[in-house]
Chain A
Amino acid sequence: MPSVLQNASESLWLIVGVALVAIVVAARVLWLITVGRRVAGGVRTARAATFAKLQRSLSLAIKSLWLHKLRSFLSVLGIIIGTSSVIALMAFGEGSMQDALEDIKRQGATNIMVRSVKPSDDSLTSQKSWVTAYGLTKRDLERISTFGDAIVRIVPLRVFPSEARFRERQVNARVIGTVPDYADVQKFELASGRFLTEADDRDRKNVCILGSEIADKLFPFENPLDRGIEVRGAEFIVVGVIRERMPTGGSGGSQAAEEFNRDIYIALNTSVDFFGEVISVRTSGSRVNEKVQYNQITITVSNIDKVRPVGEAIKSLLKQEHGGKNDWVVTIPLDRLEEAERAKTRFTTLMAMIASISLLVGGIGIMNIMLATVTERTREIGIRRALGAKQKDITLQFLIEAVVQTTIGGLCGVVFGIAMVFTVPIVWEWFAPTPLPAKIHRLSIAISLVFSVVVGVVFGLYPAWRASRLDPIEALRHD
């Protein structure tokens, strides 16, 4: 829902624009039906005559369509469905992709993430049996730091779950021991107070910064700042609160499914001092002692061109340092960004193609109806010819009828499509746990409108041509 609302203001001008166009068209239609023609006095120029004829043809077309309301509606139904599905599907496709892209961008195109991974094999059991040690080490950090000025920033993290308490309140949180630069990497916005400083880390101060949900749960009525909370037996003074962040679409951020709002940040050195290097973690019923020096290291590279080389260097470094142990993984968002962009283009194009097929089917429907209409109005065509209509007059008349139908269908489809983009996610959320993001692609509206006009011309041409080739005498004899 939120992502749809975010786009609401952007799409608002779209809705207003489309509504205005629809109103103008509707008003014109009504006016033409009731009044019938333009009152144009004065000079009779060739161009004015052609324009008048066109004007007239338009009003004829609308009148003929109005005469058979149900049939006209059914014949444009295909166009409406086609147009609205182009818009809706492209919006949903764009939305999903956008979420993934945004997520990756948030991680930073110049960042490289190295994560510690608990190996599934038995390579741990060779160590002290009651402690599982794995992952990135201080040595790794030191080695990476030697890469020199290619690296702008290194941010190590240590993560473990814990309960946090304030007076009688208690909440499950994730404690993250890190350095002040972490705020830059994650682009935090502070709701109040401050983040960690060099001094906190150096002096091993017991200060902490709360995620928004922790702050809300532990301090629903009070100001958290300067209060003390308890984490695993140690007291921490709150010096800051992070503003609430929207959860990502779970496309695999720096940690699986980031939930910043439930984090408590403390200084890295403080975490080592207070909790030691071995943390006891409860996992599905049993308790495990883990020794992980760093759960993650985020490296910011100075330049996008250096990202890949540095990434490769880190990979070979870690391979060397860790031997055959599969306890680390390097993620390069830049790769995923480009890959995601490609996937997005592919996906959007595919969606557009699929939806266009239904537009095509709609066009075939129009052609079918128009052919039937021509047959039904054979007599009328004969009359018009007898009264002086040329073949091209007849062609133009029926072609305009077809195009008017498809254009009106296209406009309705646009309105309907936009409506679907807003309503379907709401219904979706009743049934599915994750939201359905949607972002209306401006291009999709233009494309589908143009397409609906083109479909009218292409599929209306043959019936119109057929109509003009009717023999007037035969036509007059027709029922």
Chain B
Amino acid sequence: MKKPTPMASIVRVIDLVKDYHMGTQTVHVLKGLNLSFEEGDFIALMGPSGSGKSTLLNVLGCLDRPTSGAYFLGEVNVAKMDDDQLSEVRCTYLGFIFQSYNLLPQYTVVENIELPLLYQGITLDQKTKDRCIDLAEMVGLGDRLDHRPLQLSGGQQQRVAIARSLVNDPHLILGDEPTGNLDSKTSVEIMQMLRNLNQAGKTIIMVTHENDIAEWARRVVRLRDGRVESDIRNDTRGRVG
């Protein structure tokens, strides 16, 4: 077993509270969470529906702002940022993988991968295109560069999504039930790919409700009713291969 190296805390959540207002009622979804995730870790967020796991992922993904509390992404507290700043953070530091892939149907594989770069405001040239092609090849779709999502299987689409999430070299990759729409064989392929990414140093946080999938992660955080129920390191029990 490798000696655990001291890793930097890449995500720190302090007293995170998230309330939703539905008419006159207020729903307290996150009730003061305190969590810290290290760089290079692979975390699974689990819990029954209503536990707040998806909400937590949204906050971590800067898609939603907490009602109160702090969220340190690296050194910066992003909890109080405005919409434009959060958008900036998303396209610069974060990568997303969704359950239903969420590729744009009118774009090819390469164009889909390229999308986050567009919003960074950089000029798209041959260099960036090459980078996207490299990523496509890395996920095994080098021969389908001009295909559109409709022409790809679910697994292939998810692989494109993974490539897309990597194009901006993010600090953090967030996955929302990444294998939810895939069969078990393809799920294994995808999880293997994520594990490889993690082993290469990428920090991954994913929400899942399947124990099988959670076993691929190195740390499992279970939520219940907006609070942390359990927080277990998986390293020693990790799957082989």
The verdict on A37 contacting B98 (CB below 8 Å), with A53-B118, A384-B119, A390-B87 known, is no
* A199 vs B107: C-alpha distance when bound (angstroms): 89
- From residue B172, how far is it (CB to closest CB) to chain A in Å? 13
15 more A-B contacts (CB under 8 A) besides A37-B124, A39-B125, A380-B104?
A: A40-B123, A44-B123, A49-B121, A52-B122, A52-B123, A53-B118, A56-B124, A63-B107, A64-B106, A384-B119, A385-B63, A388-B87, A390-B88, A392-B84, A476-B98
In the complex formed, the residue of A with least CB distance to B176 is: A476
Question: Do A390 and B98 touch (CB < 8 A)?
Answer: no
Query: Which size bracket describes the interface of A in this complex?
Result: 20 to 34
A389 and B123 contacting across the interface, CB-CB below 8 Å: no
Question: Measured between alpha carbons, how far is A382 from B100 in the docked complex, in Å?
Answer: 13
Cα–Cα, bound, A383→B96 (Å)? 9
Interface string of B167-178 (1 = CB under 8 A from A): 010000000000
B220 within 8 A of partner (CB): no
Show 22 A/B contacts (Cβ-Cβ < 8 Å), sorted by A: A36-B111, A39-B125, A44-B122, A49-B121, A52-B122, A52-B123, A56-B118, A380-B104, A383-B102, A386-B61, A386-B96, A387-B90, A387-B96, A388-B91, A388-B92, A388-B120, A389-B87, A390-B83, A393-B87, A472-B63, A473-B64, A476-B63
**CB–CB A393/B119 < 8 A:** yes
Which residues from 31 to 46 on chain A have a C-beta closer than 8 Å to any C-beta of chain B? 36-37, 39-41, 44
**CB within 8 Å for A386 and B63 given contacts A380-B104, A476-B98:** yes
Q: For residues 374 through 399 of chain A, which have their beta carbon under 8 Å from a beta carbon of chain B?
A: 379-380, 382-393
Bound Cα distance A67, B121 (Å): 25
Query: Is A27 at the interface (CB under 8 A from chain B)?
Result: no
A-to-B contact residues, CB < 8 Å: 36-37, 39-41, 44, 48-50, 52-53, 56, 63-64, 67, 379-380, 382-393, 472-473, 476
Closest residue of chain A to B61 (Cβ to Cβ) is A386
Among B96, B102, B119, the residue within 8 A (CB) of A389 is B119
Which A-B residue pairs are the 10 nearest by beta carbons?
A388-B91, A388-B119, A390-B87, A52-B123, A388-B90, A387-B116, A383-B102, A67-B106, A49-B121, A389-B119
**Is B115 among interface residues, defined by CB-CB distance under 8 A?**
yes
CA distance A382 to B122 in the complex (A): 21
Main secondary structure of the interface of A (DSSP, over half): helix
Contact assessment for A388 and B116 in the assembled complex, using a CB-CB cutoff below 8 Å: yes
Q: How far is the CB of A31 from chain B (nearest CB, A)?
A: 16
Q: Please indicate the chain A residues that have their CB under 8 angstroms from the CB of B107 in the complex.
A: 63
- Contact of A63 with B106 in the complex, beta carbons under 8 Å: yes
Cβ B122 vs Cβ A49 within 8 A: yes
- Docked CA distance A379–B103 (Å): 10
Say yes or no: is B68 at the interface (Cβ < 8 Å to chain A).
no
> In whole angstroms, what is the CA distance A171 to B125 when docked?
81
What separation, in Å, do the CA atoms of A383 and B19 have in the docked complex? 24
Q: Select which of A41, A379, A383, A472 is within 8 A of B125 by beta carbon.
A: A41
In the bound complex, residues from chain A placing their C-beta under 8 Å from that of B87 are 385, 388-391, 393
* B5 within 8 Å of A (CB atoms): no
